Amino acid sequence: MIYIENYIYLICIKNKELYEDYVLSQVIGKSKIALNLSAILKTGVVPVLYLMSSPLHAADGEALSQLPLSQVLADEQEIIAQQPESYQLVMDSIQTRDNEVVEAILPNRTSNPENVKRIEAILSEQDWNYLFAERDSAYTYLNFLKAAGKYPALCGTYTDGRNSDAICRKTLATMFAHFTQETGGHNSHSEIPEWRQGLVYVREMGMSEETSGAYGVCDTTIWQGQAYPCGTNPDGTFKSYFGRGSKQLSYNYNYGPFSQSIYGNVEKLLNEPELVADTWLNLASAVFFYLYPQPPKPSMLHVIDGTWQPNDNDRANGLVPGFGVTTQIINGGVECGGSAEHAQSQNRINYYHEFANYLDVEIAPDEVLGCKGMKQFDASGAGALNIYWEEDWGWDANTSDGRVYKCQLVAYQGPYSSFIAGDYTKCVEDKFGVEVYDDLGGNQPPTANAGADQTVDATEPAQVQLSAHASSDDHEIVSYQWRQSDSSGTGLYIASPNAVNTLVTIPAISKDTVFTLELTVADAEGATAKDSVNIIAKVESGNQPPVVTLNAPQEVNEGQANVRVNATITDSDDQEFNLEWSLSNDVEFTTASDGRSIEFTAPEVEHNTSLTATLKVIDGGQNEVSASTTMLVVDVNSGGGEGSCSATDPNASQYPAYNSGTVYTDASNPVSHLGLVYKAKWWVQDSEPSPSNEAWALLSEVELPWDANIAYDGGDQVNHGDSRWEAKWWTKGDLPGQAGVWAKVGPSSCQ
């Protein structure tokens, strides 16, 4: 037995020729490794042991400092050519479209990509709203179409005889079932069945955008922090990478690859992770996860479309085609392998049955839907692929120091992916400390041109079109990124930050400001260039229009006297104005001597009626501004006792009246409007509350008659005419008494 310290390199000689070489171990400090020479000698080889101060230095020559690009690229192509056919199939399935194409997608637009049109033919917006009845408002049908449009392989066209439509239907049923398990409400007491409660959560429970440092491996001394550097908040803390979107994407080392797929760089989503929740990326992240393999697992797409076929090792582990193996891919370590079906896996099966039935997906009698008894994927399976670049620790007698100066493909994740152009070169440079120089007469870095500086009047919100068309490269520019780089403290909205052309919105400002936009372009080899353009925002010094607000009671009783509407007028330029009042329904009124208020007696009405007061103001600069306020005139003789229904809330007057110019969010207090109380469900402005407006939640507990603009679920009851009706299934706009979706259940409860 021989004990050797430090790094050990073993070369075996047989018949005077090199037989095998490999690193035995890296031994740190006083650790030791034992080599049983007797076992080695029995094989007929002669072992030669080298003691090294660092790994892989098997000779005394100096390390190389440079490598020609031609050699590096040739090595890369040779390695990739040795991969199985499934490697190229994966490469084909993860191709993406330009974001400019994606942003142009709209429901039923004739220019939509082919795979988007296929989805639209199978799944309408009405279907989407029905299937995800309790979804967060950020999960829109349009966002799903854009997510699919980014990745052509999702519901793509197969030219080898496979049924593209059938695969698409099965894909949607599979994804939707997993959506519902991952982000569903799981409320068994809800009137909405659990399988239709998907996409409730857009952010991980307990987390918010104010949370700092969550789920980030940000230490720059390890590869995750180096390859996927965490973004920072203004206070210097790290951004959070908690679960966002329909996949609940987590950790910076997952945000980075997804960002690379969407934007061509890892930094975008590392700096703006909130985009995974607030934009179409909330659904694109799930499509990304559906298409990308996680070695040794195959991609879910290749399971569903039949590309992945299990080998004997897979079958021995219970890994066979069907919905069940997609659960193994997603969460097999928790839900799979037991003697009985895990509760979460059973949920997925139940949801899959429902979605498959709705989407006309035929489930074969022998399809394995669960994953009980199913073992984990391993390196001997048919789906095992090596897709990450890692240092090749081999030995090369032809180099001065014995190192091979190549990277190899491995299955475990690292900073360099074979799916990203230029990563092989980066791996060689990083692992071997060399400079790869261009000997191909080759790639020159691109030239970025953000265009000339522009001047704009920003007295009111303004828009500026920026273009990178003047940028150039000796081959092709493959990515563009626009970002605001000034320190003005005023944020600009960049409509298409990764397109050649983009529209920038400047808010109204109070003083002249210079905004700076930085453009970064990159070519296919990863070379980049930057340029900046200034937007010089001016504030005109001319006469500014007044700001007018009206104050009035939210509701009044019919016949009520001395009802007053007051005006507040603010104007930095003028004190005298031309004022013109009006009241709807030809109601008479008197005007105060200063013209800034009116009084009237509320008219007699047969039912609750809206009354609108309007004031038109013209200042000295002939700027004309109008303001309106709406009051509810209550029919005090309308009853309200037993057997009657009131369409107003007696508590409405306790809440502030809705103002069309105010911005409301889900954090805002409730407001009253036309006798009812509402609360905003998300950011909303200039969108009048009503029972049919999805932006508002109706808080008033009142009995409302049937409304063509309101969607009703199966089991909902409503009054219409002299009868009460119950919906048999989801419906909107279908008239009770005429449409078969409604069943008469008795007389109207409002008489």
Strands (E), 385-437: 388-391, 407-410, 416-417, 435-437
Strands (E), 311-420: 388-391, 407-410, 416-417
Q: What is the largest CA-CA distance in the chain?
A: 117
Beta-strand pair 555-557/563-570: unpaired
DSSP 244: B
Instruction: Tell me the one-letter amino acid at 139.
Output: Y
Beta-strand pair 723-727/717-720: antiparallel
Which 3-state string (H, E, C) describes 40-79?
HHCCCCEEEEEEECCCCCCCCCCCCCEEEHHHHHHHHHHH
DSSP 584: G
Q: What is the DSSP string of 144-158?
A: HHHHHHH-TTTT---
> In the chain, how many H helices and how many E strands?
18, 33
SS3 80: helix
Beta-strand pair 624-634/555-557: parallel
Q: How many CB atoms lie within 10 A of CB 747?
A: 12
Question: Distance from CA of residue 364 to its chain's centroid?
Answer: 33
Torsion from C-alpha of 245, 251, 254, 257, nearest 10 degrees: 110
Catalytic residue among 76, 120, 182, 272: 182
Give the CA distances from residue 413 to residues 227, 294, 295, in Å, rounded to whole numbers and listed in that order. Answer: 11, 9, 9
End-to-end Cα separation, the chain, in angstroms: 101
Beta-strand pair 33-35/477-484: unpaired
Active site residue 182: yes
Asked whether the bond before 296 is cis by omega within 30 degrees of 0, the reply is yes
Beta-strand pair 477-484/416-417: unpaired
Instruction: Tell me the one-letter amino acid at 60.
Output: D
Torsion from C-alpha of 617, 621, 622, 627, nearest 10 degrees: -20
Handedness of CA 256, 260, 264, 268 (dihedral sign): negative
Which of the residues are catalytic? 182
